[in-house]
Structure 1
Amino acid sequence: MADLGRQAPPALMPLLRMLGDLKRIRSAGHMGSIAARLFAAAWAGVAAGVPVADVARRTVADALAATQLGDLDAAALQTAGIPSEEVRRIRAEAVAVAAAPIDAGLQQWLLEARPAPSAGLPPAFVARLAAQPRAGATCPGRGRLVLEPPEDHAEHCAIVAISGVILAPVWGARVETVFLAALAHHLHNALLPDAGFAGEVLLGEWLQPAMARATTLALDDLSPSPRAAVEEACRILPDATTPEGRAFHAADTLDRVLQVEHHLRAAGTSMDFVLQEMELVHAGPVKPFQDAVLVRMGLAA
């Protein structure tokens, strides 16, 4: 099993980090982060009976575009006067740039994604998951390490689902199964606040029955056909013995650790890195003046 873990592709790490940043991008006129909204739109499609493969393709393509454009979505660009054909070109270029390091076949599949039709409202559990913070790092006998602001369960599940699709070719996994299982893997937290590892240990033998009951209550929000599809997809969750289980657990583990890494990187960032590597004050006609001001004020050498 450990040998199979060595198939994980380090070349995808920059992209996985950028996808994680979608939890932290918000804009005026929208509720929640990009990741939370992708989660809601995906569940609206699943609940409406849209084929899961189509939902996955559209969701991942939109996420890839957002790694480059942030919240500059098609509606905003068109309202700003950019012709619709140019908007499509810009967004397709953004997807292509972000998708460069992924599997060639998957890349082509994603580039063929089409705008999704309106699918109505998402299931009720979506709003509850978006309002349910993640626990942070917990360990029995130790205080909780809460990194502010905490991500929510909608954001986590969205990025695991998107990352799972991107990682699926590594293990030859079916993208629709990985995607749907990842979307659903925290349904129990629509009812149960996240107590983390420490709380799970204390629940002991009651942990699994409580999670199962809470998941069932969330699934009651779905009609029979999508509910059955979710239940079938979630069969991969208990272990990493299948290609789909491996892709899911790789995505889930990486997202949990990268969430903490984000905070550590931010806390350890130097002014030199921000000014030199990130070009916070970037090239332009007034840059010499700006640089001189920063030097004079002691913020740059």
Structure 2
Amino acid sequence: MSEKPYTPPDHGTSPSSTGQLMLVATPVGNLADISQRALDALRAADAILCEDTRVTTKLLRHYGISNQLIPLHDHNEQDRTPSLIDRLHQGQRLALVSDAGTPIVSDPGYRLVRAAQDEHIAITSLPGANAAVTALTLSGLPPIPFMFLGFPPRGEARRQHFAALRAVEQAGLAATLIWYESPHRLLETLKTQEQVFGADRPAAVGRELTKNFEEMVRGTVAELIAHFEETPPRGEITLLLSPPAEEDTGAQELDQVLQDALKNHSVKDAAALVAGIVNLPKRTVYNRALELARQNRTD
């Protein structure tokens, strides 16, 4: 039976070329988690842009697909983008995949997509697997709103990263937070979260999602630390942290201190004073002070 070629959708636009960039989601583990539309696109593309040719080759071989593979990763994307844009202007269709999941999300390709947009080249996304969303649905934590933050920084920057998020929570943010993490850094990351967010904060760790040894460990941050100290983590890791508890008074306390300061100080001076008291970033406190001052004027 002959295969039908992939037909690009008509979005009613008039791109400057007949080429198209296709963002194709691939499985995060289980090779069966790929759509027929994605397979058709990989077959029909003039070339496939991928992070690691060895990883993508396994997927293509599994489905009997033979196509040109072009490595596109963090170290060569900037240099390779101009030649890829040229190919798109020549009318070629290029498929962009990551090693696993949805392209661009914590993966290379952003520079190429922006360049293609600037050149008015047609771009389409073929949706599919995503580890962050898969973990969220299994975590038992509030699904909306959530914030995906990629990989946390290493070393001291990691603590600063978490401290900034905690500051924003104290200013009113209430969302499930999601990160990817490597197994050998997971325990250190959890211990830093314990220091910043507290030992009793509900959390979850998804491991090897969609694979044979899939695991979702749920509990407080302290319980997760105890679990992974006893059972060292392996495989691909997704880490989730619950929103602050409803009885978390951080935001209310910040507002009360700011309101008191605003009675006798300008917004700028009140924010500088309070930032030193509550140990929060000055910009975060200033933005909240400005909002409160506006509310006070309208009351």
Which structure: greater helix fraction? 1
TM-score, normalised to structure 2, is 0.22
Greater strand share, structure number = 2
Larger Rg: 2
Greater relative contact order: 1 or 2 (C-alpha under 8 angstroms, separation 6 or more)? Answer: 1
TM value normalised by structure 1: 0.22
